[in-house]
Structure 1
Amino acid sequence: MTAASTGTGTVPDTSFMVDRAYFTDRDVWRRELDGIFKRSWLLVAHESEVPSPGDYVTRRMGTDEVIVSRSEGGEIKVLLNACTHRGTLLCKADTGNTAHFRCGYHGWTFANDGSLRGVPRGRELYGPGFDKGAFALRGARVATFYGLIFATFDQELCSLAEYLGDMRFYLECMLNVSGAGTAAPYGSYRFTHLGNWKLEADNLAGDGYHLRHAHRAGFDMGIMGAQAGAVEGVCVQFERGHALRAQRAAGSEPGLRFPGYPQERWPEIAERLSPDQARMFSDSSVVHGLVFPNMAWVHTPRAGGFDPGEPEAAMFQLRLFNPIGPEETEETNWLVTPADYDDAWKASAFKTMQRQHGATSFFESDDLENFRRMLQPAGGRVGRELLKSNFDLATGSEPFKPWFSGPGRIVGSDVSEVNQRWFYRTYLAWMEAGK
């Protein structure tokens, strides 16, 4: 790969290959942590996971362990999970509620806002001039977007709103459907798997080519819902490497319909979204995409083949990919719903997510197996030298006028690798700039 600008429309969409070392090399992985993850706004949690003072969850930002806490004053904090005395891991639980975090090594105690409150024999051993303020937990910058909590340790990085840019137009279609805001009613779950984090990122950025091959069983079983019918779709690219792929039922009649949502709520959805957002989201069959570098999502109405009597419920799944190593990824998943929808609707949406996109569902089993198998040939010396990952599908596709007016470079090619090419060109530009 060669360096390229990260501005949409500035790079010719031509033939593109990626060296396999980018998926297996430990030096590349270490460079990513500095050149990509330290320079990005990263998703860490949903506000509903820490609703009350003292609530906390532990997460990763790249490979850095952090505590996402709500302080006694109600402020959301993202703190490096390491005692400032000797660097010991401070909080070992995944979730809980506490006013203080106490280090198990020497007993230093920190409030849940990160301030140092207690040092055993501190005045005696450190003297009366000891500055507790200098030893507060290291905190990240924090910003939220419709309930999603993002953080960065880069003090010079632009605001989250600027970082998301025009991607906000599309994310709002799924996050702004109710005046009550959003919730993650079932919390989150994490698992690890073999495979480089970029394989999932480029897949969710816009890979429609693999569906009827890798996921053929889903089509044969009749559980693909609207995705199995006639559809039309687009791929869209944005500044900073963000990308998405959107489909809707082909030949849809004029009008605003939001399958998967209660029909009595359709007027509210249309009112909350802009006219162009409503047209984009109307008759949607699937929308999936990536906020660079490692936050992805899948939105789809309820698929077919499930239990009779369940309410139809759209699934909006958030995913986070953290690179534990070049060949191992930790994934965190959330179901995000309108906060005020009833429990039966939320339960149906959760079942859809678990059946179709859960850690052991048919979709994920197919994909994770392919991600693992993609690493095997790259581990051989000849395979690593002779094989490159090819992203030539539908090169040179022209910008396209779709069924809606929206921002970004919109390409009228539902099955394409234009978004993957965009992701890797941005990735390399950041890696080169971070040298």
Structure 2
Amino acid sequence: MTTVDDSPSTPLGGTVSSSTGNGAAAAPTQSFSVPRRYFADSSDWESELERIFRHSWLFVAHESEIPEPGDYVTRLMGTDQVIVSRTESGDVRTMLNSCTHRGTLLCKADVGNASHFRCGYHGWTFANDGKLTGVPRYRELYGADFDKASFNLRAARTESFHGLLFATFDADQVSLRDYLGDMAFYLECFLGVSAAGTEAPYGAFRFLHQGNWKLEADNFSGDGYHLRHAHRAGFDLGLMGSQAGSTEGVCIQFEHGHTIRAQRTAGVEEIAFPGYPEERWPEIRSQLSPAQVEMFANSTVMHGTIFPNLSFLHTPRAGGFDPGDVDAAMVQLRVFNPVGPDTTDELCWLVAPTDYAEDWKESAFKTMQRQHGATAFFESDDMENFRRMLQVNSGVETRARVAANFDLAHDHAPYEAWFDGPGNIVGSDISEVNQRWFYQHYLDLMEG
């Protein structure tokens, strides 16, 4: 563990502790801002797709969405449409959803089961592993020596982490495990509570909204500053429950631009896992390492961003707001695909331990939908702010003269971390250190 005060005398990049080495450039220790054009310009959006999305590990699905051979979902990787398929042999393949003949969209459904995909334009047929198996009249029109294998669907590397499927088209990118690096220690705190693993019991929910994708990614990366202002109505209604009590928090940064903000109830010595059935607490302690238990116990909220566009939120908010609902910790995954500089295609999932009771999962789902669903209290607040930011960021003078500022709490670190874990740990609950880290990595890729 490395604990710093985020002051100019302690360069952030020089203190990152990572099992894979500190490959990211040093985060800023003086005044830091991001030009507004990065939130509005079409040319920068196109550069993002090439420089960032094409070369990163991107979350595409949960394994439980495609449990049987032939199951598939169609998703986006940036702006590239892909098919994520469980092949007949049980492997998972992620392939461009584009016929290799003339480029027509191959599979039109969002979800289904198929052994083959047939193009509706000229009838080319591909197996669910991407191999071209049928070309009408190919001997007559192409010749007997036509090489079908050279027209297989373009496939991405696909790897899994606790049931989460990631893909990349970059053959030179490090493995997914190395890309996650020390962040895996924290992800396992809520993904590894059960030996049975995880599932996404209700599938994915998709919606479009106005706003640049980075606004939401940086919000989840560590923005605790907006909560009492943008979401004041939610606090006034008591929707945050115990999270509104006495807490202490940290912000953590990792290689490759990943970040986490975590809170726990202050002053509690007992090892407890609120939101999880008490009879399952011994299993949680056995599943996690002692250091992970120390970090995760008495958690009130944990959220962050896996660079570039996968964010997560863990909260043990009690129940689903209806009489008889059980206490259920909610884990939500969010993906932000930039279909334009001003439009974000978003998907969200509830992730739950596979073998937990159905009423527990239902309560967690209600919490997700009512707090952080597409039309929920907190999302409505955030989406309005993102839309308003978009409204002004396209202004010529704004882009030229008024940058987005991220100077909050350079020298403000009032807490000592209550756990000994990896990454660069800053003892501050309200800070923009995570956003500085996220955007420094972004700018390194865009301008390097």
TM over 0.5: yes
SS of the aligned residue for 2:60 comes to strand
Q: How far apart in 2 are the matches of 1:90 and 1:47?
A: 22
Structure 2 equivalent of residue 244 of structure 1: 260
Q: 1:375 and 1:191 mapped to 2: Cα distance? A: 18
Contact 1:400 1:410 in 2 (8 A): no
The within-5 A match list for 1:1-400 is 7=23, 10-253=26-269, 255-303=270-318, 306-397=321-412
Q: Distance in 2 between matches of 1:54 and 1:304?
A: 36
Q: What is the number of residues matched between the two proteins? A: 429
CA 1:79 to 1:9, structure 2 compared with 1: closer, same or farther past 3 Å?
A: closer
Deviations 1:121-142 (A, max 9, x none): 0111111100111111110001
3-state SS in 2 of match to 1:140: strand
Counterpart position of 1:423 = 438
Judge conservation of contact 1:236–1:410 (CA < 8 Å) in 2. Answer: yes
In the alignment, residue 280 of structure 1 is paired with which amino acid? M
Change (3 A) 1:9 1:278: farther
Displacement of 1:364 in angstroms is 0.3
d(CA) in 1 for partners of 2:382, 2:106 = 35
Counterpart code for 2:243: Q
- Residue range with higher mean Cα deviation, 391-400 or 25-34: 391-400
Deviations 1:380-415 (A, max 9, x none): 222323321111100144697411110011001100
Secondary structure of the equivalent of 2:54? helix
Contact 1:223 1:305 in 2 (8 A): no
Give the secondary-structure state (helix, strand or coil) at the position aligned to 1:340. coil
Stretch deviating more after TM superposition (98-107 or 394-403): 394-403
Give the alignment's TM-score, normalised by structure 1.
0.96
Matched, 1:410 2:425: yes
Partner SS state of residue 155, structure 2:
coil
Q: Deviations over 1:295-326 (max 9, x none)?
A: 00000012478112101000000000000000
Q: Distance in 2 between matches of 1:432 and 1:238?
A: 20
Q: Secondary structure at the match of 1:143?
A: strand
Which shows bigger deviation, 122-131 or 388-397? 388-397
The CA deviation string for residues 262-310 of structure 1, in whole angstroms up to 9 with x for no partner, is 0000010011101110111100000000000000000001247811210
Provide the identity percentage. 66
In structure 2, stretches of 5+ residues that fail to align are 1-12, 15-21
1:8–1:408 CA contact under 8 A, matched in 2: no
**Structure 1: 5+ residue stretches without partners:** none
**How big is the alpha-carbon RMSD for the aligned residues of Structure 1 and Structure 2?**
1.5
Q: State how far apart, in whole Å, the 2-side matches of 1:11 and 1:350 are.
A: 37
1:99-121 Cα distance to aligned partner (Å, 9 max, x none)? 00000000000000000110000
Relative to structure 1, the CA distance from residue 305 to residue 85 in structure 2 (aligned partners, 3 Å threshold; closer, same or farther) is: closer
Q: What code does the residue aligned with 1:423 have?
A: F
What letter is aligned with 2:170?
D
- Aligned residue for 1:415, secondary structure, equals coil
TM-score (norm 2): 0.94
Amino acid at match of 1:51: P
* 1:112 partner amino acid: N
Displacement of 1:11? 3.5
How far 1:431 sits from its partner (Å)? 1.1
Structure 1: which 4+ aligned runs deviate by more than 3 Å?
4-12, 396-401
